[in-house]
Amino acid sequence: MSTPSTDGIFLKNCWYVAAWDYELLDGARLARTVLEKPVVLYRGESGQVVALEDRCCHRGAPLSMGRIEGDCIRCMYHGMKYEPSGKCIQIPGQDVVPDKLGVKSYPVVLKDHAVWIWMGDAARADPALIIDYPPLRQSDQWRGLPAYLHYDANWLLIVDNLADFAHLAFVHTKTLGGSEEYAYTTKPVAIERLADGFRVERWHMNSDPPPFHRKVIPNKNDKVDRRNIGRMYIPGIFFLETTFAPAGQGAEKGGPLPAGTRQYRNCQFMTPETRRTTHFFWNYLHDTDLDDPNVSLSLCNSMREGFHEDKAFIEAQQKLFDADPDTKLLAIASDAALAHFRRTLGQRIAAEQAKGALAAVA
Amino acid sequence: MSTPSTDGIFLKNCWYVAAWDYELLDGARLARTVLEKPVVLYRGESGQVVALEDRCCHRGAPLSMGRIEGDCIRCMYHGMKYEPSGKCIQIPGQDVVPDKLGVKSYPVVLKDHAVWIWMGDAARADPALIIDYPPLRQSDQWRGLPAYLHYDANWLLIVDNLADFAHLAFVHTKTLGGSEEYAYTTKPVAIERLADGFRVERWHMNSDPPPFHRKVIPNKNDKVDRRNIGRMYIPGIFFLETTFAPAGQGAEKGGPLPAGTRQYRNCQFMTPETRRTTHFFWNYLHDTDLDDPNVSLSLCNSMREGFHEDKAFIEAQQKLFDADPDTKLLAIASDAALAHFRRTLGQRIAAEQAKGALAAVA
Amino acid sequence: MSTPSTDGIFLKNCWYVAAWDYELLDGARLARTVLEKPVVLYRGESGQVVALEDRCCHRGAPLSMGRIEGDCIRCMYHGMKYEPSGKCIQIPGQDVVPDKLGVKSYPVVLKDHAVWIWMGDAARADPALIIDYPPLRQSDQWRGLPAYLHYDANWLLIVDNLADFAHLAFVHTKTLGGSEEYAYTTKPVAIERLADGFRVERWHMNSDPPPFHRKVIPNKNDKVDRRNIGRMYIPGIFFLETTFAPAGQGAEKGGPLPAGTRQYRNCQFMTPETRRTTHFFWNYLHDTDLDDPNVSLSLCNSMREGFHEDKAFIEAQQKLFDADPDTKLLAIASDAALAHFRRTLGQRIAAEQAKGALAAVA
């Protein structure tokens, strides 16, 4: 019943994806726990996106069981009405509403179909800090379907997963990977440590198109030179740039991409629900057959299939850690990116806590 | 695995409803946890109602898996036989039964179809302390069906719910309430603080009959003057007197009720199963069409429908409190009855503990 | 989330049954928790039985989701390959495998279709300490089907159950027992306290064949003299020798068994999964109709039916203990064997801990 503090567990002063905008269609009041806080998300009648503490200040009923009125929301237990600011502005049967009545309001920004939320100090919630991912809005170049998956695992286990492409060979042999060879014959050509994450690049020359790609291309047996460039940013934002160039045309030399090259842009957003569960958002965007909805759908389904393969491993890891929190793990060479990310994130969380402690005694 | 003490959580020296008598028909051995204690309830062959600790003193098997023999019950693991007093009187294969062998027996009283149980000091279990509710036995004036619902919530959240009729407007608009107007245009005419609870009275003049009432009356469109009088008693006993008088006949002036008035009598008994779950018993009794079983059934079903609406809110509250036990709530004007009840009950529990502490050092 | 130490809970330096060999057919990688440790069991391609910690040393993925290669197993997350010794011998994409990389390997012995595992100090894992049960291999004299059941209860509650045959009368009246008379008119003729367990013997003269036996014999109405000899050994190994002799032929006098006597040999192995769950293995072997598979099947099914009757009681006990760990139990005369076993096991566990503590300071 007791709730340990989330201090030191999550980075709070940063933007997280809380939802895709399709989740707020038609007056939905979306109940979503973020960093262990209950939040209700909705769009007011003006179109404004609102995020409030999902717990009426009166008796603690969820506002997500409430009713949208204009841009306000009314608790449907005793009728308390709240502004987007969180201020309570009406109590049926009571003439005066004391100023102190209200719920916490969280800064939210709708950008390129993603709803970003700031769970920390609202005064520091600068929308300019939201990481930009142009493919999400460049619909003349990129198309894809936004999607969601829930993980019964800490979000860092998903970050770990994405930090080492070698898992493609074993976990995703028949879906996203294509062959075990990938782990043996290819290596990252670069692992760059960034101030707020990492960048890894890996080539697989003269290879068969992996199954997810094969499904949406006409010449299924032509060899490809495959390049993956992954970039991970704190707190859990991943961009993957994938290129399939016709094999042997020199794509690896860095000039213009050979004719017939197909590209993908993939974003993945990992948002902690609790310390042991995660909201996982993604969109896998393609640059060819933009007007063929079956291509978007096939790729979305292929990714979902692959992520479920990851999920089996990642949730199994979480169960084993739960059963024995003292589990000791041992690093291998390919853990460089993973280790850098966990160290950097730990420093950021520690700095945030120190600043909070200073503020508290000032 | 550890079980925190229930001291300070529950009032122990008082009568709680443990069951309706229909639950003990045909030799049932009803396993029911009350105030976090396992209890088996049964009627012996003489008709006597018995309540014993539901845990054989030998190896801890549940007596509710046992067999009734006369007014005794036999554990069907190794055959230990217990009297209604809890004393063990037979061990198959052993000639002498030591005096110390036995289980706790709880005082129980069957009154007006309700089985009342006393979980505290048995020496103080005076049946005269059982609160009387005559409509349950006045079958020439009142008819209704006894019913049961289980809540995954602390019983005080149900008490809170019943303390403010304004929730009828929002939670039960289309079932028990009838309109949101109820919250805006009516107010309690009285909130009386009693030594052991509270009394609230509220009128809704010239209103449409609410849906549950409409279903069982012939003139569905005649306006009514509606009066609700609720009385709540420690530890969680609620009586509701509802009157629907033809509108504009002066029912509010206090004389004899106008011709065509229909009345209901409703009792609700909230018994803690654990600190976060509750047994909820009710009977909604009507004064008209006494011999039409469909009227009783319709009202019982309407109440069940309405209580499920409450249950959705109340169990959601419990989940939010579980997730964050430090939740701060803010009172509004209509919380007067609720606040008085919680304060008074807290005092009674504290006094009971102090007395127990004194007895322990005496 | 925290995991209390298992010290003082389980005896570690002894052999436990971890599986029947049929569970490892066809390349199965059996995930089985033993004494709260995750273990993967498999047979390598040479036939060797291997038991490893079911948690890759790299990122904690379960090896039971891996692939058998020769006698090795490969983690299918990033491809780490492990020898039966637990040593990691390959990391795809990394040339050198540091010596420290590996997982714990547990000593295992396959004997008479049972896979025995040693969870304590591997240096002390002497196969000669495995208790011998010849009927499991004497297929010219005994036939039966190995079987498995999972209990949501501490294994000692199953030991308790087997320590007092009186429960046959009440729990198994219509299956394994046959009559309540068994508890009243028969008594153990001997309860022997052994250094590592106990031996009990009980006769039921001139009785009807119990239902499970009746199903597989031709003369269903002939009275029998029934003898049960049970032997229980630390940590939870039970052998039951059952004899049904034609009534009145003097079987109890100890000479050669009368013509027409039928015998059964039953072994039961209780292995703690966790402190509140148990793996239960058994084989009920018969000496007649060796080549009729329906006899083996009928007996196996009868036992399963009977064990489910026990399970209902035993799991109910566990729930009551969980709800109130301070439950006080009171012994009766027939608890002599049970009490001796619990005392002896407690001494063995304490001695093991003391030795461990000495080793730690040496």
Work out the minimum CA distance from B187 to partner chain A, whole angstroms.
7
Contact across the interface for A166 and C79, Cβ inside 8 Å: yes
Contacts of A78 in chain B (CB under 8 A): 164, 166-167, 170, 183, 332, 334
Distance of residue A4 Cα from the nearest chain B Cα, in angstroms:
9
Residues 6 or more apart whose CB falls under 8 angstroms from that of B358 comprise: none
- pLDDT tens for residues A328-342? 999 999 999 999 999
- Please say if the pLDDT value at position C290 is more than 50: yes
Nearest to A121 by CA among A30, A15, A269: A15
Residue A89 near chain B (CB below 8 Å): no
The Cα of C32 is separated from the nearest Cα of chain A by a number of Å equal to: 12
Q: Touching check for A325 and chain C: CB below 8 Å?
A: yes
Q: Does C91 touch chain A (CB under 8 A)?
A: yes
Q: How many Å lie between the alpha carbon of B30 and the closest alpha carbon of chain C?
A: 15
User: For residue range C313-357, what is the model confidence (pLDDT) as tens digits?
Assistant: 999 999 999 998 888 899 999 999 999 999 999 999 999 999 877
Please give the pLDDT value at position C206.
Answer: 96
- Give the ipTM: 0.93
Helix (H, G, I), strand (E, B) or coil at B216: coil
Given B59, B79, B92, which is nearest C317 (Cβ)? B59
Range A137-160 average pLDDT: 97
What's the confidence (pLDDT) of residue B80? 97
Instruction: Kindly list the distances between the CA atom of residue C49 and the CA atoms of A51, C19, C116, C282, in Å, as whole numbers in the listed order.
Output: 57, 11, 10, 20
Instruction: Kindly state the average pLDDT of the residues A295-303.
Output: 97
- Quick one: what percent of chain C has pLDDT higher than 70? 98
Å between C135 CA and nearest CA of chain B: 30
Using CA atoms, how far residue A251 sits from A202, A225, A257, B86, C191, in Å, is 13, 7, 6, 86, 84
Q: Is A316 on the interface with C (CB under 8 A)?
A: yes
Q: How far is CA B105 from CA B34, B139, B274, in A?
A: 13, 32, 19
State the pTM of this model: 0.94
* Chain C interface includes B258 (CB < 8 A): no
Q: Which chains would you list as touching C if contact means 3+ CB atom pairs under 8 Å?
A: A, B
E strand or H helix that includes residue B203: strand B197-207
Query: Does A362 score more than 60 pLDDT?
Result: no
Instruction: Give pLDDT, residue B361.
Output: 62
Chain A residues whose CB is inside 8 A of the C5 CB are none
**Residues on chain C touching A171 (C-beta within 8 angstroms):** 76-77
User: pLDDT tens digits for A98-123?
Assistant: 999 999 999 999 999 999 999 999 99
Contact of A130 with chain C, judged by CB distance below 8 Å, is answered with: no
What digits encode the pLDDT tens for the residues C107-159?
Answer: 999 999 999 999 999 999 999 999 999 999 999 999 999 999 999 999 999 99
* Over residues A311-315, mean pLDDT: 98
Residues of A in contact with B167 (CB under 8 A): 77-78
Q: Which amino acid is at A344?
A: T
Q: Give chain C positions within 8 Å (CB) of A312.
A: 65
**Which of A187, A329, A330 has the CB atom closest to C100's CB atom?**
A330
Evaluate whether A11 touches A234 at the Cβ level (below 8 Å).
yes
Q: Does C170 touch chain B (CB under 8 A)?
A: yes
B325/A2 touch (CB, cutoff 8 Å), yes or no: yes
The alpha carbon of residue C47 is apart from the nearest alpha carbon of chain A, in Å, by: 25
Alpha-carbon gap: B345 to the closest alpha carbon of chain C (Å):
26
Question: Tokens 């279903």 belong to which residue?
Answer: B215
Task: Enter the tokens of residue C188.
Answer: 């153990």
Q: List pLDDT tens digits, range B129-150.
A: 999 999 999 999 999 999 999 9
Length of chain A as a residue count: 362
Mutation target for C interface from B77, B90, B95, B100: give the one with most C CBs within 10 A. Answer: B77
d(CA C161, CA C315): 12
Residue A359 has pLDDT above 80, yes or no: no
CB pairs under 8 A between A and B: 81
Taking the CA of residue C353 and the nearest CA in chain A, the distance in Å comes to 21
A1 has a pLDDT exceeding 50: no
For B299, what's the count of Cα atoms within 13 Å in the CB-facing half-sphere? 25
A203: number of Cβ within 10 Å = 18
Q: What is the pLDDT of residue B343?
A: 97
Q: Which helix (H) or strand (E) holds B224?
A: strand B224-233
What is the gyration radius of the CA atoms in chain C, in angstroms? 23
- Residues in chain A within 8 Å Cβ distance of C32: none
Give yes or no for a contact between A267 and A155, defined as CB atoms under 8 angstroms apart. Answer: no
Query: What integer pLDDT is reported at residue C355 of this predicted model?
Result: 84
Determine, for residues A78 and B184 on separate chains, whether the beta-carbon distance falls below 8 Å.
no
| Whole-number pLDDT of residue A8 | 85
Q: What is the pLDDT of residue A316?
A: 98
CB contact under 8 A, C77 and A171: yes
Select from A77, A80, A277 the residue whose CB has the most chain B CBs within 10 Å, as the one to mutate to test that interface: A77
* Mean residue pLDDT across chain A: 95
Please give the Cα distance from C272 to A122 (Å, whole number): 52
Answer yes or no: do C164 and B78 touch at CB < 8 A.
yes
Digit-coded pLDDT (tens) for C16-52: 999 999 999 999 999 999 999 999 999 999 999 999 9
**Confidence tier at C74 by pLDDT (50, 70, 90):** very high
Instruction: Calculate mean pLDDT across residues C254-270.
Output: 96
Whether the per-residue pLDDT at C362 is higher than 70: the answer is: no
How confident is the model over C186-224, as pLDDT tens digits? 888 889 999 999 999 999 999 999 999 999 999 999 999
Asked if A4 is an interface residue toward chain B (Cβ–Cβ < 8 A), one would say: no
Residues of B in contact with C324 (CB under 8 A): 3, 38
**Rounded percentage of chain C residues whose pLDDT exceeds 90:** 91
Closest residue in A to C94 (Cα) is: A333
Q: Which residue from B176, B166, B147, B170 is spatially nearest to B244, judged by alpha carbons? A: B176
Suggest the residue from A313, A319, A322 to mutate for an interface test with chain C (most C CBs closer than 10 A): A313
Per-residue pLDDT at B2: 46
Cβ pair B3:C324 closer than 8 A? yes
pLDDT at position C1 is 38
Report residue B62: phi and psi, to 5°: -75, 130
pLDDT-flagged residues of chain B (< 70): 1-4, 359-362
Q: Annotate chain A with three-state secondary structure.
A: CCCCCCCCCCCCCCEEEEEEHHHHHHHCCEEEEECCEEEEEEECCCCCEEEEECCCCCCCCCHHHCEEECCEEECCCCCCEECCCCEEEEECCECCCCCCCECCECCEEEECCEEEEECCCHHHCCHHHCCCCHHHCCCCCCECCEEEEEECCCHHHHHHHHHCCCHHHHHCHHHHHCCCHHHHHCCEEEEEEECCEEEEEEEEEEECCCHHHHCCCCCCCCCEEEEEEEEEECCCEEEEEEEEEECCCCHHHCCCCCCCCEEEEEEEEEEEEECCEEEEEEEEEECCCCCCHHHHHHHHHHHHHHHHHHHHHHHHHHHHHHHCCCCCCCCCHHHHHHHHHHHHHHHHHHHHHHHHHHHHHC
Distance, CA of B258 to CA of C190 (rounded, Å): 84
Would you say A29 and A66 are in contact if contact means Cβ atoms under 8 Å apart? yes
Which subunits sit against B, judged by 3+ Cβ pairs under 8 A? Answer: A, C
* Interchain CB contact of C183 with B (< 8 Å): yes
Rounded to whole angstroms, the Cα distance separating C328 from C237 reads 26
Extract the tokens encoding B175.
Answer: 């079932």
Using CB atoms, list chains with 3+ pairs below 8 Å to chain A. Answer: B, C
**Could you tell me the two tokens for C353?**
């801990």
Label residue B336 exposed, middle or buried (CB < 10 Å: 0-12, 13-18, 19+): middle
A72 in C contact zone (CB under 8 Å): no
**pLDDT band with cut points at 50, 70 and 90 for residue A289:** very high
Two tokens, residue C174: 């219509």
Sort residue C325 into left (φ over 0), alpha (ψ -120 to 50) or beta. alpha
Q: What pLDDT is recorded for position B78?
A: 97
Across the interface, which of B169, B316, B334 has its CB nearest the CB of A94?
B334
